[in-house]
Amino acid sequence: MADLYARESRSVSKMAHLRFFPQAVVGGSGAYLTGDDGRRLLDFSASWGAASLGHAHNAVRDAVNRALRDQAGASYLSSANEPCVLLAEKLLSLVPERARGRVWFGHSGSDANETVARVVVAATGRPRLLAFEGAYHGGTVGSMAVSGHPAQQGARAAGLTLVPYPNSYAAGGPEAAKAAALAHIEQLFATVLPPEEVAAFFIEPIQSDGGMLVPPDGFFQAVEAICRKHGILVVSDEVKVGLGRTGRFNAFEHSGIEPDIVVYGKGLGGGLPISAAVGPEAIMNHAVAFSLQTVHGNPVCAAAALAVLETIEHDHLAENAASTGQALREALQGVAARHALIGDVRGRGLALGVELVVDRATREPAARQTALAVLRAFQLGLVVYYVGVNSNVLEFTPPLTLTKSQALEGAALLDEALADVAA
């Protein structure tokens, strides 16, 4: 079946492609994928974090089998179903008190963020929104409209204002990055952006697609204080970096804040399509039939998601992400010591980024070398993709079940790939 990639090109649309090398897989188990050529590939992306428990995890498989043996319909549009209710009750127990109202279910982080962007404006009567430059909140028309990533091909919302995300590496340190970003927000509010017109601020506890940027200590506490002062809702996009990935269940917990609305997706379903927006009853119950699709609230996907949450707790996967992530980060720092291409290693838990630069002094992005690095890594047996507004940051979002030996194996493969690129 080694011609699978070629066969796909003759049958499947490219409009949903985001390809880095000719990868074609026929199966997978745990942290490994099986290529159509029979190769075993160590997966350090987990499909952009969606396969949160790894591939073919017993808990997800068993939950899906149970849900399908006695299927409670296919939707929650016109009927309550038990898996949805159980999942909603579980999610409500995992968010701050101020967000503990109601849960909306969708298919992906994209539709969840779009729904939140629409409902906060409708429910508050405030027409404006804030988000960060470099932010990726989804690929639908409505979620692209509140995003700030330059690679996206959608139009921005008329009421959207983008502000800089603090980049400690580019700014020369966290304090400088924090001060500049906060000053920009305060200047906007003092001049061209009336804060009383802003419904919500969409934040990313770590800006993943923008370059795996970690906010400076105290930054989001200051942002939260500004939002509380002006009655602006704080929306935390946990789609890629939440659900235990950073070493805590919610990534915003590292910043010591309590968002009003929390958005989950990707890893929530353990590889199945489901998303959730959790927030105050007054917002989330603004209107019936406000945002719906036929198989929203699918009970099979909801059952899988509940199994994911229970497994994260039962198997202490947030703790594993912290300890294994620390081992991986230290290994990557060792790789950085041997390769001038690496300018910075950053992240939390199993959400890590490695920025490649042409020159460490100028920090000039090494976009071509980054593309070559992920290709060579794939040839050697490691799946890793790149992100960042300059396409020069290797992103590591492996399964939460990753072991320390697998972390070291992946770092060694990257070490070899970078040596080959340099040569």
Q: Residues with catalytic annotation?
A: 136
Phi/psi class of residue 217: alpha, beta or left (left: φ > 0; alpha: ψ in -120 to 50)? Answer: beta
Q: How far apart are the C-alpha atoms of 76 and 69, rounded to whole Å?
A: 18
Query: CA 219 to CA 202: how far, in whole Å?
Result: 14
- Could you give the 3-state DSSP secondary structure of residue 34? strand
Whether the CB-CB separation of 342 and 354 falls below 8 Å is answered with yes
Whole-angstrom Cα distance, residue 178 to residue 168?
Answer: 8
* Strand bridging mode 382-383 / 40-43: parallel
How long, in residues, is the chain? Answer: 423
Write out the H or E segment, with its range, that includes residue 40. strand 40-43
Tokens of 5: 């990639």
Coil, helix or strand at residue 16? coil
How far is Cα 164 from Cα 204, in angstroms, rounded to an integer?
12
Q: Which two tokens stand for residue 188?
A: 């906007």
Q: Answer for the pair 246, 205: CB distance below 8 angstroms, yes or no.
A: yes
Q: Sign of the C-alpha dihedral, residues 326, 328, 334, 337? A: negative
Burial class (CB in 10 A: 0-12, 13-18, 19+), 34: middle
CA distance 197 to 200: 9
Secondary structure (3-state) at 25: strand
3-class DSSP state of 377: helix
Q: Residue 177 burial (CB < 10 Å; 0-12/13-18/19+)?
A: buried
Mark out the alpha helices in 125-203 (DSSP H runs). 141-144, 168-171, 174-190
Q: What is the DSSP letter of 233?
A: E
- Cβ contacts of 51 within 8 Å, gap of 6 or more: 28, 43, 267, 270, 271, 399
For residue 395, list its beta bridge partners: 353, 385
Token reading at 160: 């959207």
